[in-house]
Amino acid sequence: MAVSTLHYLWPGSTALDHEVGMRRGMCMKETLEEIGTRLRELRELNRVSPEEMAEHLNVAVDTYNCYEDGMLDIPASILIGIARRLNVDTGLLLTGEESKMSIFAITRKGEGVEVERRKQYHYQSLARKFANKKAEPFIVTIDPKKESQSHPVHSLYSHPGQEFEYVLEGALKITINENEVILNEGDSIFFDSTYDHVMEALSDKPVKLLAVVM
């Protein structure tokens, strides 16, 4: 039995526009340099100085400048903090396109926006098309640290709000306010993200999470 698929077109768009958009949505990857350029342009349009943004994010000015220069990985929580300060959606920062959906938004397998990163922490946005989100869902993959690395791969960080993490694959060690918690496949945790926290893969295999930042 054949199954038909319905595609909705925005007023003024053509079938070709929609097809190109669908193709672009698949395996979309955004580089740090592209995102950094958008951060700078939007910040300047909003007349926010690097110092003001750094203070809002509770990071050093040099660190924030590295985000804009594409020289430093941008944690998902930092990206959300920037979007809230500039009163824009994270989808605009990730892709340069305004989020338009207000009733529901579907992200098919493999169509989430993935940010190319330099370290062992990768994330994929699952709701970039939905406007005015009150929470940000991501698929997060954390690679195991290399044998030569005796210290944690990621440093402690904090941000306003709350987080939910559900382990899809692997084993996760999460440290929150000096408390170490081990989570295995099927386990989850909900926590206050204003406390310092850090996550890392516990074994020699990557850990995959469903993360919701609020």
pLDDT tens digits, 11-38: 333 333 333 343 344 445 678 899 999 9
Residues contacting 212, CB < 8 A, separation 6+: 135, 136, 137, 138, 163, 164
pLDDT mean across residues, the chain: 82
> Whole-model pTM?
0.75
Residues contacting 60, CB < 8 A, separation 6+: 54
pLDDT tens digits, 114-158: 876 656 778 888 998 898 889 999 999 999 977 555 555 557 888
Residues contacting 18, CB < 8 A, separation 6+: 7, 9
pLDDT of residue 23: 37
